[in-house]
Amino acid sequence: MIVILNDNDQVSLPTGTKTVAGVRPSGALSDYTSRLMSSRPGIMAQGGTLFEELGFYYVGPIDGHKLDTLVPVLENVRDMPGNKPVLIHVKTEKGKGYPPAEASLDKYHGVARFDVGTRKQHKSVSQTPSYTSVFSKALIAEAEHDRKVVAITAAMPGGTGLNIFGERFLKRCHDVGIAEQPAVTMAGGMACEGYKPFCCIYSTFLQRGYDQLIHDVSIQKLPVRFILDRAGLVGNDGPTHHGSFDLAYIGCIPNMIIMAPSDECELQNMVATSLAINDSPSVVRYPRGVGVGLDVINQKLGHAIAIGKGRIIRNKAPSPKEGSVAILSLGTRLLESVKAAEALEANTIPVTVKGSEGSGACDCLSVEAR
């Protein structure tokens, strides 16, 4: 086996002494790593001992931008005799050769097609705010009225909207780095101390903290508010970021309340709802991208909604009968559900559409369907 370590001192967002929100990552490990890197700046260039102790034959470090050196090394390693695994330590610089990217690592981590000269990306710009933006504003509004509100993320302040929250509430925003497990446990500990933590993580990345989700939060019924951005398919973010499984892996956990907004106003209300829940953990999941275009007034507080109670959106089949249809919608598929109902009704099939705001104790069975 040949392992290539691409060592560019970066993750998806800039790291080091500060996060993109301008605050340092939280935790003793971050403090220790910072001191270690400062006192021994050449430590990562001398990684042979570490990897050799793990059983690898270590090669490097090598400048990954000098192909006349890199290619022969790759060929030599490929042709090496023996069965011992090899690790090639390649040093690179993110955005190397394109000054705008070198100077703005977070913005050029993932880009659409763009003009190299003007730097303008060729992508449509919507006037409708994203769900991430709506959540960020809703959380800020709640935090303005409640000093116990705190926020935690795992190296994704920009992706979850906590970069804006962190600018407003520097000491109430915590970035633990790429460490979802400590993020969940930290949120549980803060809930024990009377704080009202919002643990903001991409849907797919919460899987890394599953054990902590069950043992450190759910079993103890701690009121941690989990905000899952990128729920569902995520388009250009790629398949590794699809939030395809959260309903399955969270829905089976005891004491967990799951909410999924169908629009911006419901998201704002669900932030308020999760804040009002003080006897169990809760989840609010929403997709990547923009909302449906409903106006949400900045800094306006949401209002708590009833858990487990949906609402009738369209009722052309008020009583069950043969040939009638009931469509139960959870989350942002509500608009598509209404369109499906309209298409069915055009073919004389009566349809009832019910939107379920939360699946903690959903009363979907109140809609009889045969």
Please state, for a pLDDT cut of 70, what percent of the chain lies above it: 78
Task: Please say if the pLDDT value at position 362 is more than 50.
Answer: no
303-357 shares the fold of 131-285: yes
> Given this model, what pLDDT does residue 365 score?
38
pLDDT at 192: 97
pLDDT for 363: 44
Judged by DSSP in three states, 272 sits in: helix
Q: How confident is the model at residue 133 (pLDDT cuts 50, 70, 90)?
A: very high
Residues 149-170 pLDDT 10s: 999 999 889 899 999 999 999 9
pLDDT of 127 over the 70 cut = yes
pLDDT tens-digit readout, 296-319: 655 578 888 888 777 888 887 666
The DSSP symbol for 232 reads B
Give the burial class of 116: count Cβ atoms within 10 A of its Cβ; 0-12 exposed, 13-18 middle, 19 or more buried. exposed
Q: Which of 24, 107, 119, 208 is catalytic?
A: 208
- Between the alpha carbon of residue 74 and those of residues 9, 80, 88, 92, 332, the distances in Å are 22, 10, 8, 16, 48
Give the active site residue among 24, 91, 94, 221: 94
**If you average pLDDT over residues 236-264, what whole number do you get?**
90
Amino acid type, 125: V
What pLDDT, on a 0 to 100 scale, did the predictor assign at position 299?
Answer: 53
Tokens of 48: 């042979």
pLDDT exceeds 80 at position 116: no
What per-residue confidence (pLDDT) applies to 36? 54
Residue with tokens 């101390």: 193
Across the chain, what does the average pLDDT equal?
82
94 assigned to active site? yes
Domain boundaries, the chain: 2-103, 131-285, 303-357
How confident is the model over 40-64, as pLDDT tens digits?
Answer: 555 555 556 788 888 888 998 899 9
| Position 147 pLDDT exceeds 90 | yes
208 included as an active-site residue: yes
Of 180, 264, 266, 357, the catalytic one is 180
Q: Under CATH, which number does the domain 303-357 receive?
A: 3.40.50.920
| DSSP strands (E only) in 130-178 | 149-153, 173-175
The CATH classification number of 131-285 equals 3.40.50.970
